């Protein structure tokens, strides 16, 4: 969430920055927050004055009793009790206004980075790297590559969504045989590719409401999450959620930053509102496997980390022999928590469309303020500086299986209908070099 002090002191500038998102509700929300903040400061002053007066009266009562003036002492004590009751009412009012303001802050999106391009929707997202396509561009794919992966997978016996639907529900998928082996291989390859800099974590797949709120999924995206109401737990939509909250409520030393983590996990998404869109094959599903990379950093470290994380994903996609491009997300298409964000997309010739396979994002201190993750600063001599600072968070999909798996089937399909396994995956394939060969 955004710092209340920044809203108090720079409301006009923040409103102007958020206007780039095209969300007309932000101005009204900020106006309400600023007014509630004014009320809270006024109430706090009244409460503090009342408490100070109670302390004065307590001392006065003591002196009056020592002087033997019992009647006057009881009169003053009655005034003190009345003030105590007033403090209770003030505190209840303070609590109610604080809760109202916090709820508003949860809905106000992050401020876009100044370098984020202006735009109204995903149609305005500029390509910043690529596209890397075969000779002839989109017309350069052979006819045998222009078969959708769901037909290829069914023909080779490695994709069985019909039985997945039978044992679960629609929009669940199931890979079989060499197809399942390649899905696992993709995850292990992504973990190995980032093990030089990222600590591997295997986090819980279920998290608390507070954990899901820290990363911005709640309350705005509650309809898209799977809830286990009996236990007040949620299925994670991505490993970003538990990784971000690993250090919630903690203070790190600046020497520990950047702290980098990676995790394989299943991901669960209800895909609310997506009925009829990309529901065939592996393009959109309720459960899928993904490897996430995440970093906690100082504000100065964050820009370089963002570039590094994008480069890591792009190298992996390129090594898989997939045709790709990198786009920057424009102001009107940014997610609520995002400060700056880039998508890596691959071209699937059988689906005849660009598929987002990774999103790498910088959140500034927006998530860390919700999760209360801070670090201690030091001066030039390495001595601690008074106070703490919120960390910046960054994360990205190192590799999400479904669409990469789909693009491999379509891109590497051979004339005989088999699919050649990318060379970098061979160490994980138990000797399988061709799917259906």
Q: What is the pLDDT of residues 72-96, one digit of tens each?
A: 888 888 988 999 899 999 999 999 9
What pLDDT, on a 0 to 100 scale, did the predictor assign at position 1? 85
Distance CA 213, CA 372 (A): 12
What's the CA gap between 70 and 432, in Å, rounded? 96
Domains 4-107 and 122-435 share a fold: no
pLDDT at 77: 87
Q: Taking a C-beta distance cutoff of 8 angstroms, is the pair 414, 171 a contact? A: no
Instruction: List the Cα angle 183/188/190 in 5-degree steps.
Output: 95
Q: Which residues of the chain have pLDDT under 70?
A: 272-279
- Res 276: pLDDT: 52
The residues spanned by each domain of the chain are 4-107, 122-435
The pLDDT value given to residue 346: 98
**Which one of 3.30.930.10, 2.40.37.10, 1.10.3720.10, 3.40.630.30 gives the CATH number of domain 122-435?**
3.30.930.10
Query: How many helices (H) and strands (E) are present in the chain, helices listed first?
Result: 11, 16
Q: What is d(CA 83, CA 72) in angstroms, rounded to the nearest whole number?
A: 17
Q: What is the pTM of this model?
A: 0.91
pLDDT score for 277? 58
- Give the pLDDT confidence of 366-416 residue by residue, as tens digits: 999 999 999 998 888 888 888 899 999 999 999 999 999 999 999 999 999
Per-residue model confidence (pLDDT) at position 379? 85
Query: Within 223-365, where are the H helices?
Result: 240-244, 302-319
In 3D, which of 209, 22, 237 has the Cα closest to residue 109?
A: 22
In contact, 396 and 314? CB cutoff 8 Å: no
- 182: its two tokens: 């390649």
What fold characterizes domain 4-107?
Helix Hairpins (1.10.287)
Instruction: Give the pLDDT of residue 275.
Output: 53
């Amino acid at each position: 969430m955004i710092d209340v002090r920044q809203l108090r002191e720079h409301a006009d500038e923040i409103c102007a920055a958020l206007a780039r998102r095209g969300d007309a509700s932000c101005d009204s929300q900020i106006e309400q927050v600023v007014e509630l903040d004014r009320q809270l400061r006024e109430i706090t002053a009244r409460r503090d004055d009342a408490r100070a007066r109670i302390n004065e009266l307590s001392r006065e009562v003591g002196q009056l009793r020592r002087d033997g003036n019992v009647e006057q002492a009881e009169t003053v004590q009655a005034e003190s009790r009345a003030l105590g009751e007033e403090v209770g009412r003030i505190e209840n009012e303070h609590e109610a206004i604080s809760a109202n303001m916090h709820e508003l802050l949860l809905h106000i999106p992050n401020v876009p980075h100044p370098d984020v391009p202006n735009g109204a929707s995903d149609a305005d997202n500029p390509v910043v790297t690529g596209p890397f396509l075969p000779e002839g561009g989109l017309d350069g794919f052979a006819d045998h590559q222009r078969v959708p992966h769901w037909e290829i997978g069914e023909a080779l016996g490695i994709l069985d969504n019909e039985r997945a639907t039978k044992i679960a529900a629609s929009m669940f998928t199931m890979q079989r045989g060499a197809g399942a082996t390649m899905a696992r291989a993709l995850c292990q390859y992504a973990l190995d590719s980032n093990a030089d800099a990222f600590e591997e974590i295997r986090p819980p797949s279920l998290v608390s409401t507070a954990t899901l709120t820290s990363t911005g999924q709640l309350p705005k995206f509650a309809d898209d999450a799977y809830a286990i109401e009996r236990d007040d737990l949620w299925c994670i939509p991505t490993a970003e959620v538990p990784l971000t909250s690993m250090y919630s409520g903690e203070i790190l030393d600046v020497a520990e930053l950047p702290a980098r983590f990676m995790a394989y996990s299943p991901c669960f998404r209800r895909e609310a509102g997506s009925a009829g869109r990309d529901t065939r094959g592996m393009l959109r599903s309720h459960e899928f496997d993904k490897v996430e990379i995440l970093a906690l950093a100082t504000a100065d470290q964050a820009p370089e980390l963002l570039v590094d994380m994008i480069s890591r994903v792009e190298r992996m996609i390129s090594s898989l022999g997939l045709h790709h491009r990198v786009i920057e997300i424009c102001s009107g298409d940014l997610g609520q928590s995002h400060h700056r964000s880039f998508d890596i997309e691959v071209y699937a010739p059988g689906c005849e469309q660009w598929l987002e396979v990774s999103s790498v994002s910088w959140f500034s201190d927006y998530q860390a303020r919700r999760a209360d993750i801070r670090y201690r600063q030091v001066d030039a001599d390495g001595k601690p500086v008074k106070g703490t600072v919120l960390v910046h968070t960054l994360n990205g999909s190192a590799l999400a299986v479904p669409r990469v798996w789909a693009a491999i089937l379509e891109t590497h399909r051979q004339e005989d209908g088999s699919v050649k396994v990318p060379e970098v995956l061979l160490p994980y394939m138990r000797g399988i070099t061709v799917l259906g060969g």
